[in-house]
Structure 1
């Protein structure tokens, strides 16, 4: 995706590592997959006009001084394309999915599949996923 460096929030001190990697400048882009609290904290890491993509919850923009750092915040809500989007939006999402599947099939993208489960094991897998301690994906495979 063009990242020069990636910081793992589970094993590294994110603010310290970001400061080290950028020589104190700050980062241009953050993709936060943890949650709203983390996304809010990530705002402090951005340079002026930096970008934050929130996958698991929106940051609290009240923590940013109005007309100060001018962050660009993007909410990644793919499901909304089906509930709120029009036909063009759904077609764009389908094209992106097709590209992602092709990249996965070519070995250019790791789907990070942790394990597959049967239908009877789906409730337990959902509980496990809700704890946000699973690295990768648990996928239901129809018998």
Structure 2
């Protein structure tokens, strides 16, 4: 009997995307409590790139299979208690493992795939939209009628936050570094657009809000943009820190936070679910319901075949693609 092989995108050294190569290995046998997923697509996220340099807070042991999120079909199960059966379309979420023809998972790493999404779209849904949901709902307490400012609004997390913010009934101000990225925010429903390479965004936000400021800010960018965002937050506003895509952490000026009576809140959506699995499942189910009712979708900037994974990572490093990058896995 011929041994079944799986294809994996393995990172073997911490010197960037060039260290990522495709390798074939035997498909491992499942242990009790595990399921095998035949992957259809997987999406890139900024932490994937950081991990190839060893610069992310999670540092997997070499060699490791890249990929935090994807979508596929349950091919085999050794967990009779899992709410999934062979043939079910599922979302796969983990710290690693998605860029492969097959992934091994436990039930808590899987969610039912929203019915409004194709596999390519579903692959790009979990990380960014769950980050948006945990940020806005679980941590930020965004309410209908409030004003939301989204920095980095053309990126994956930013686009998801604009889309979800509108679905939750907020007025959304989108800020990004180029008109091309702002076009994504506009297509996602943003009410106001700010190019912060051409405009002083705190000044423009104060003009839009008539000096009141915004109730909630989502910042996945960091650096000087985090520092400037405190200049346009409303009294008792919530500043949600969800990343540092600029490569730098912002410096918190506590006098500004005190003067505005605002909260600065760190967001780690994956850790939110790992530390409180019940809350994580509740958030995932609520997000899936909103996605199906409101038609939430990621915007795909470019799709790549699995053997071009290194090229996709380099494109992310150059910021050459607007929107989510997806790897299509040929099964």
The answer to whether the superposition gives a TM-score over 0.5 is: yes
Measured in 2, the distance between the counterparts of 1:116 and 1:42 equals 33
Do the aligned residues in 1 keep the contact of 2:202 with 2:228 (CA within 8 Å)? no
Which structure 2 segments of 5+ residues have no match?
1-164, 178-194
Partner of 1:136: 323
Secondary structure of 2:211's counterpart equals: coil
Partner of 1:77: 268
Higher RCO (CA-CA < 8 Å; seq separation 6+) = 2
- Tell me the TM-score normalized by structure 1: 0.76
TM-aligned CA deviation for residue 131 of structure 1? 4.1
Structure 2 vs 1, CA of residues 96 and 120 (structure 1 numbering), >3 Å: closer, same or farther? farther
Structure 2 vs 1, CA of residues 18 and 78 (structure 1 numbering), >3 Å: closer, same or farther? same
Q: CA RMSD in A?
A: 2.5
TM-aligned CA deviation for residue 42 of structure 1? 0.7
Partner of 1:109: 296
Q: 4+ residue runs of structure 1 moved beyond 4 angstroms?
A: none
Secondary structure of 2:260's counterpart equals: coil
1:91 aligns with 2:278: no
Number of positions where the alignment pairs a residue of Structure 1 with one of Structure 2: 138
Do the aligned residues in 2 keep the contact of 1:7 with 1:17 (CA within 8 Å)? no
Structure 2 vs 1, CA of residues 89 and 34 (structure 1 numbering), >3 Å: closer, same or farther? same
Higher helix proportion (structure 1 or 2): 1
Structure 2 vs 1, CA of residues 111 and 77 (structure 1 numbering), >3 Å: closer, same or farther? same
Do the aligned residues in 1 keep the contact of 2:236 with 2:263 (CA within 8 Å)? yes
Partner of 1:9: 176
TM-aligned CA deviation for residue 87 of structure 1? 2.4
Measured in 2, the distance between the counterparts of 1:79 and 1:59 equals 22
Structure 2 vs 1, CA of residues 54 and 133 (structure 1 numbering), >3 Å: closer, same or farther? farther
- Of residues 55, 64, 85, the one that matches 2:254 is 64
Partner of 2:28: none
Do the aligned residues in 1 keep the contact of 2:213 with 2:233 (CA within 8 Å)? yes
- Tell me the TM-score normalized by structure 2: 0.37
* Deviation readout 1:66-98 (Å, 9 max, x if unpaired): 63322222323122135x413213312432452
